[in-house]
Structure 1
């Protein structure tokens, strides 16, 4: 009996871990005897059970007394530790990331966590449909703004409650048998088909970062993803040369846009992507004060903002587009891009014919707001049909407006502009530039062959 009058004993025996197979998955039990009375604890992973058993054995070897009332060492707190579930942690991770992430990043985080979470469930009993779980997780649980606004409709609320009550503790990720199915889930699309290598890589990076946050909060002692032998699909970053148009095709496409209804105000939009390699989000937010245009000849574009499309659910303002700094750049950084004479003429004509919005944007949507992806996408699809042959229309050639940017960068590289300069204009690192556009640099094989012939000679003395 201790000083507080609690009965204690040193008569303790700890047994080996036993595995119990259950319909929802195996569990692991630790049993020990205190003064002839059996006690036990059940864990979802063997790793957790082994750790608990080791603690009991270490305490008995140190000669610490056990309470015959609770069956626990006196040095332990009477309250059991509260384990944080994966669902709770994933929501906390979203809340931590939300204030500083762009809309596209928020959307990507929600997509990744909604893919992983169904692989970390502890039960299948009364499980909601895949569609309901996806809608609840992606559309509400992992959207900090919607979750803060209040609960979803009752149908999704039931699915969310079930998931919240049936996800594993974060600490279970230390068990490779739990972690591996979560990683495998990243490699599949919702229809069960293999996901693209770039998608798997992006989702794995988010999962890894989320688990790192669990380590930071003390839920795990280390990141188990770093040690597990799991191979993601090989990533293909290089641009397909078949999407890159030549100058004649570009001129034909721009001419086709001009002939379409609602097309003339967007000729310059597509032109800045082809001649200056702007990303669509950069072109959407291009403003008059970013232009330095002479009456003719070379000008310059001073880019400092972009407005990528992520959807109203993911932006801070509730709009489809939210102006931000340039990709991979700080808030005050500016990227200077040369404006060729042809683009100078197109931009000057655009300002004369169509002006700008009150806040200086060159391009606008139907009602004067930001230009929508669907609007310029439909226009581009029509222009391809008008400007290209049937064979080219059916091919990947310039299938997306983004491919105009690929054409611009390829043109610069093939024109002999040094890679560091091209990278600066395009907003890439040199390493990424050469990896992505290596296959689009034409004529290098012929030059290399000629140099080898010159080095080998023709064999004559």
Structure 2
């Protein structure tokens, strides 16, 4: 109940003594129409708490928590990291894609284990094993809505976490945040974390603190005032030693096409030949290829065709999808649900797709690629297994021992690098790849021509020489000093 000035009606009753109780002195009060009580070991403690409530009641600006009967700011100051992150996971769940849900839960678990646990002697004595804590955080605490009851080790770990994480307000201080950031540069096993891992953790921590500001637990987000040392996240770039040349890619693709049957999966290799060809010739992501339907394809008898990409099927796991399925069908990555991307495809891919549709008729829903008699969406494990088998058979011993083409995704990287080497406008490449121009240039920085030939010609003039040879395309062969041992890749220009 509020008066005309907007103040909440707070009333206190006389502190009563209840003999024979562990905390015999009971403080009783009412906020609005809701009664509350707390018990104390001494009357002095009850009176002290009553005095604090009285001071708060005299301030018309006090915001009251009707569930506790105390000022809302008191509860915010006591909010622990574990409970805060559980609330955040619940609030954000419906707005995130399944893979984003999973990655956020994993990063929150890492942050919690590295820098937000109670380090007191008592807490350490009862602390569960880190493996159990990680599972409890990732698959239970930060995965809202699970109906089943957690098994005993997980339930005990969740109870321990609820009682032994640090208050969120400790991160409202810049020095505490700097200490936390220092701890986030390490993995849980103590080894240095990759720069991209550090960046992802920092962004997750920043978002968690922004939510704490929204909940009024802290006044401002201290991370906004802490600048990282200016350095490039070099491990976000694609290294040339991982990117196959045209010759290497086509050798692996040809091997996929001729792979013998694998156990209970007949024709899986021949069926996936066009799958991998889409990644190499069209620069598609695996999830985009999974979702490709015959109605998305314009495949003329001669010349270039087009693919109109409308969605993606990503494998996140049953815990993270809305329907509890392994795969999740969504819109294009970082795009609205209705967004499309039109990708021109060369005649070679047009021919491959036409042959594929003739040999393997589309599924009932029009998908070009599927697995098993029920025509299910292809699992990541299935196509990766085929890729590993074909790569081992197609490459030389030296190439197979190198990092080149270790993942099917390297076919997409090869497509982007070839477009850059061919001199296509970066804006057009980014449009075809579904990137922003900034991401394209930072990811494929090695293939961006920043005028090396012109600079070399000027230096030749200074040294009195003439340059009779052009700069070779960047491969493992001519970047040995920078990128480590050779992979056996051919010169990209020769392969093209």
Q: If the length of structure 1 is used for normalisation, what is the TM-score?
A: 0.80
**Unpaired runs of 5+ in structure 2?**
1-10, 15-41, 58-68, 261-267, 467-496
Alignment of 1:105 with 2:111, yes or no, is no
The answer (yes or no) to whether the contact 1:187–1:232 under 8 Å persists in 2 is: no
Distance apart, 1:189 and its partner CA: 2.4
Distance apart, 1:284 and its partner CA: 1.4
The answer (yes or no) to whether the contact 1:293–1:344 under 8 Å persists in 2 is: yes
Rounded Cα–Cα distance in structure 2 between residues aligned with 1:419 and 1:39: 73
- Partner of residue 363, structure 1: 369
Matches within 5 A, 1:79-158: 79=70, 81-82=74-75, 83-118=78-113, 119-122=115-118, 123-146=123-146, 149-158=147-156
The answer (yes or no) to whether the contact 1:112–1:203 under 8 Å persists in 2 is: yes
Alignment of 1:405 with 2:418, yes or no, is no
Distance apart, 1:317 and its partner CA: 1.4
Deviates more, 1:231-240 or 1:294-303: 231-240
Q: Look up the SS of the partner of 1:322 in the other structure.
A: strand
Rounded Cα–Cα distance in structure 2 between residues aligned with 1:449 and 1:207: 45
Rounded Cα–Cα distance in structure 1 between residues aligned with 2:117 and 2:168: 11
Distance apart, 1:296 and its partner CA: 2.6
- Partner of residue 341, structure 1: 347
Distance apart, 1:272 and its partner CA: 0.4
Rounded Cα–Cα distance in structure 1 between residues aligned with 2:195 and 2:328: 28
- Partner of residue 26, structure 1: none
Rounded Cα–Cα distance in structure 2 between residues aligned with 1:438 and 1:129: 42
| Cα deviation 1:18-54 (Å, max 9, x = unaligned) | xxxxxxxxxxxxxxxxxxx99899xxxxxxxxxxxxx
- The verdict on how the C-alpha distance between 1:167 and 1:292 changes in structure 2, with shifts beyond 3 A counting, is same
Rounded Cα–Cα distance in structure 1 between residues aligned with 2:48 and 2:321: 57
- Partner of residue 275, structure 2: 269
- The verdict on how the C-alpha distance between 1:101 and 1:238 changes in structure 2, with shifts beyond 3 A counting, is same
The answer (yes or no) to whether the contact 2:441–2:448 under 8 Å persists in 1 is: no
Q: Which of 175, 188, 191 is equivalent to 2:189?
A: 191
Q: If the length of structure 2 is used for normalisation, what is the TM-score?
A: 0.75
Matches within 5 A, 1:225-264: 225-228=223-226, 234-236=232-234, 237-261=236-260, 262-264=268-270
Distance apart, 1:359 and its partner CA: 0.8
Rounded Cα–Cα distance in structure 1 between residues aligned with 2:80 and 2:281: 51
- The verdict on how the C-alpha distance between 1:361 and 1:99 changes in structure 2, with shifts beyond 3 A counting, is same
Distance apart, 1:178 and its partner CA: 4.1
CA RMSD of aligned residues (A): 2.9
Deviates more, 1:94-103 or 1:71-80: 71-80
The answer (yes or no) to whether the contact 1:307–1:324 under 8 Å persists in 2 is: yes
**Unpaired runs of 5+ in structure 1?**
8-36, 42-66
Matches within 5 A, 1:316-355: 316-355=322-361
Matches within 5 A, 1:14-53: none
- The verdict on how the C-alpha distance between 1:154 and 1:411 changes in structure 2, with shifts beyond 3 A counting, is same
| Cα deviation 1:185-242 (Å, max 9, x = unaligned) | 4322233222211112112111110110110111110112223466598511221011
Rounded Cα–Cα distance in structure 2 between residues aligned with 1:430 and 1:272: 22
Q: Look up the SS of the partner of 2:306 in the other structure.
A: strand
Q: Which of 199, 202, 208 is equivalent to 2:200?
A: 202
Distance apart, 1:438 and its partner CA: 1.9
- Partner of residue 435, structure 1: 442
- Partner of residue 424, structure 2: 417
- Partner of residue 289, structure 2: 283
The answer (yes or no) to whether the contact 2:53–2:70 under 8 Å persists in 1 is: no
- The verdict on how the C-alpha distance between 1:209 and 1:333 changes in structure 2, with shifts beyond 3 A counting, is same
- Partner of residue 51, structure 1: none
Matches within 5 A, 1:381-400: 381-400=388-407
Deviates more, 1:219-228 or 1:229-238: 229-238
Q: Look up the SS of the partner of 2:342 in the other structure.
A: strand
Q: Which of 28, 35, 55 is equivalent to 1:75?
A: 55
Distance apart, 1:269 and its partner CA: 0.5
- The verdict on how the C-alpha distance between 1:353 and 1:197 changes in structure 2, with shifts beyond 3 A counting, is same
- The verdict on how the C-alpha distance between 1:296 and 1:6 changes in structure 2, with shifts beyond 3 A counting, is closer
The answer (yes or no) to whether the contact 1:93–1:213 under 8 Å persists in 2 is: yes
| Cα deviation 1:241-285 (Å, max 9, x = unaligned) | 112222222221111001112210000000000000001111111
Q: Look up the SS of the partner of 1:124 in the other structure.
A: helix
Deviates more, 1:232-241 or 1:286-295: 232-241
Rounded Cα–Cα distance in structure 2 between residues aligned with 1:68 and 1:186: 41
The answer (yes or no) to whether the contact 2:310–2:332 under 8 Å persists in 1 is: yes
The answer (yes or no) to whether the contact 1:239–1:436 under 8 Å persists in 2 is: yes
Q: Look up the SS of the partner of 2:281 in the other structure.
A: helix
Rounded Cα–Cα distance in structure 1 between residues aligned with 2:378 and 2:172: 47
Distance apart, 1:184 and its partner CA: 3.5
The answer (yes or no) to whether the contact 1:116–1:183 under 8 Å persists in 2 is: no
Distance apart, 1:175 and its partner CA: 3.4
| Cα deviation 1:161-198 (Å, max 9, x = unaligned) | 11011222222222345434533343222332222111
- The verdict on how the C-alpha distance between 1:430 and 1:219 changes in structure 2, with shifts beyond 3 A counting, is same
- Partner of residue 383, structure 2: 376
The answer (yes or no) to whether the contact 1:211–1:223 under 8 Å persists in 2 is: yes
Rounded Cα–Cα distance in structure 2 between residues aligned with 1:383 and 1:266: 11
| Cα deviation 1:118-154 (Å, max 9, x = unaligned) | 32223323111111111111111101132xx143112
